[in-house]
Structure 1
Amino acid sequence: MSREDRRGSTALLGITLALTVVLIIVLAWKTAGGGSTEAATARPGPTAGSELAEKLLSYQRRLPDDPLAIGRADAPVVLIAYEDFRCPYCAKYATDIEPQLIERYVTSGVLRIEWRDFPVLGEESMELAKAARAAARQGKFWEFHDAVYAIGASKPRFSEELIQDLAREAGVPDLTRFNADRADPRIERAIRADMAEGRELGVFSTPTFFINTQPILGAQPLERFMTIIEAERATR
């Protein structure tokens, strides 16, 4: 479904969607006492098959050639991840949790992971998002993703020199093209489209995840992700 089609739905449903998802996340956060491990499942998402659930599922892109996704386009479970490359909790998820989800569920065809840009921590976050998408044009998004997150919170600044080093580490073959692509206004528009879509869903911090229709806020333990994936898998 195109973004135009989604926005062509009734204003009432759009408002209901945003408010409901915000309520789900905020209640989960408050019930857990702020970032505890209970935040992921303190409140369930919308009922399967409901109009709201189907609306949330429509945000899954499932493009077979999407360089910002891992896993089969027809996987029964899709994890949409809104992340900022400078977010330390995103780095924790990317280094501790995501590899295990890939090993357990992506390789077996159960799970698809779709990246969404949500650079909210300043201009360097936006520059890293642009660089990652430029790397994606040469088939190196996930390699660049891994190189950035491997640094984690140990690098407070991502200088231009460091971005070039990360591109080389990721194996980006043509750095001249990489740097030209970073300046392509279409890349920034795509990033801002992700951010606008996230706000439609009630996203206000990183990382935020939707596993089919079930929200998770923050870098929760692996078991939380597995519980929801298994539950969603059983219903598909």
Structure 2
Amino acid sequence: MKIYFLAIPIIIGVVIGIGLTLNLESAPNDSSILNKENLMQGTTILGNPDAKITIVEFGDYQCTFCYKFHDETMKKIDQAHIKTENVNFVYRDFPLNGPQSILASEASYCAQKQNKFWEYHNTLYDNWGGENTGWITKNVLIGFANDIRLDLDSFSQCLENSEFKQKVLDNEQFAREIGIDATPSFLIFNDSELYRIIGAQPFEKFEQALQELGTS
């Protein structure tokens, strides 16, 4: 949303199980929070949970460049690497566009309760209506739930009770603590190295990082 470029790869000489360290000006003083356990906490994994490489996206359901990534690059990554079980993918909320983005993220976790996080996630981006245009409302979100055949009573109650609002806000806070300041932002890592990519970069940029990390 703010900055769109490929950051220089940051190679980490520390095993992720112990803890990663980012050499970034915006990184926290206590960078021990940037580790695999924290990055994966509370997420739903797309792909093989045991894949050696993970892509973590920090995104906003209203973000223009998040939508472009979903519509273009993500489909290629899915076909080339996630479906072949070389890479897994997780999504973390960074709702920079405000209350409507927070509400959309809440809805995704209400869908997760019914084991349909990724179906709902994809439906949000497939029906993307711009940044702060008013397309995200509770009625619209309930309509999406109906489209993927969720239990509407359970979903609506979850949304009405703001059951996952704090989770979304915690995700945003965590992102800020590890130096994330734009959407979409990506951390791509294996057990010893990490690359950071910012923006809706073309597939080739992700492919380069994945090859460096050992998919080839």
Q: TM-score, normalised on structure 2? A: 0.81
Q: Unaligned 5+ residue runs, structure 2?
A: 23-30
Give the residue type in structure 2 aligned to 1:134.
C
User: CA offset at residue 169 of structure 1?
Assistant: 1.6
Higher-RCO chain (CA-CA 8 Å, sequence separation at least 6)? 2
| Letter aligned with residue 21 of structure 2 | L
Are 1:82 and 1:207, in contact at CA under 8 Å, matched by a contact in 2?
yes
Residue of 189, 204, 211 corresponding to 1:223? 204
Q: Give ranges in structure 1 of 5+ residues lacking alignment.
A: 1-28
* Farther-moved stretch of structure 1 (142-151 vs 153-162): 153-162
Q: Note if contact 2:55-2:187 (Cα within 8 Å) is conserved in structure 1.
A: yes
1:144 and 2:120 correspond: yes
Task: State the distance in 2 between where 1:90 and 1:105 align.
Answer: 19
State the match for 2:68 in structure 1: 92
What value does the CA root-mean-square deviation take over the aligned residues?
Answer: 2.4
Q: How many residue pairs end up in the alignment?
A: 195
The SS at the match of 2:204 is helix
- 2:26 is matched with which residue? none
Amino acid aligned to 2:95: P
Judge conservation of contact 2:61–2:95 (CA < 8 Å) in 1: yes
Partner SS, residue 102 of structure 2: helix
Distance 1:120 1:171 in 2: 29
Determine which of 110, 129, 141 is the counterpart of 1:163.
141
CA distance, structure 2, for counterparts of residue 154 and residue 196 of structure 1: 24
**Deviation string for 1:153-207 (max 9, x for gaps)?**
45822122211211112222x1110011124455112112211111111011111
Per the alignment, residue 16 of structure 1 pairs with none
Measure the CA separation in 2 of the matches of 1:138 and 1:98. 24
Relative to structure 1, is the Cα distance of residues 200 and 179 closer, same or farther in structure 2, using a 3 angstrom cutoff? Answer: same
Could you state the TM-score of these two structures normalised by the residue count of structure 1? 0.74
Residues 62 and 70 of structure 1, relative CA distance in 2, 3 Å threshold: farther
**SS of aligned partner of 1:70:** coil
8 Å CA contact 1:60, 1:78 repeated in 2: no
In 2, Cα distance between the equivalents of 1:109 and 1:48?
A: 25
Q: Tell me the equivalent position of 1:214.
A: 195
Q: Is the 8 A contact 1:91 1:153 kept in 2?
A: no
Partner of 1:120: 96
Moved more, 179-188 or 78-87: 179-188
Change (3 A) 1:231 1:148: same
In the alignment, structure 1 residue 40 sits paired with structure 2 residue 6: yes
In 2 relative to 1, CA 169–108 (structure 1 residues): closer, same or farther, beyond 3 Å?
same
The equivalences for 1:30-69 within 5 A come to 35=4, 39-41=5-7, 43-49=8-14, 52=21, 56-58=34-36, 59-61=38-40, 66=43, 68-69=44-45
Q: Secondary structure at the match of 2:181?
A: coil
Q: Is the 8 A contact 1:83 1:207 kept in 2?
A: yes
Answering whether residue 49 of structure 2 is matched by residue 73 of structure 1, we say yes
- What is the aligned partner in structure 1 of residue 28 from structure 2? none
**What letter corresponds to residue 99 of structure 1 in structure 2?**
K
- 2:56–2:187: 8 Å Cα contact kept in structure 1? yes
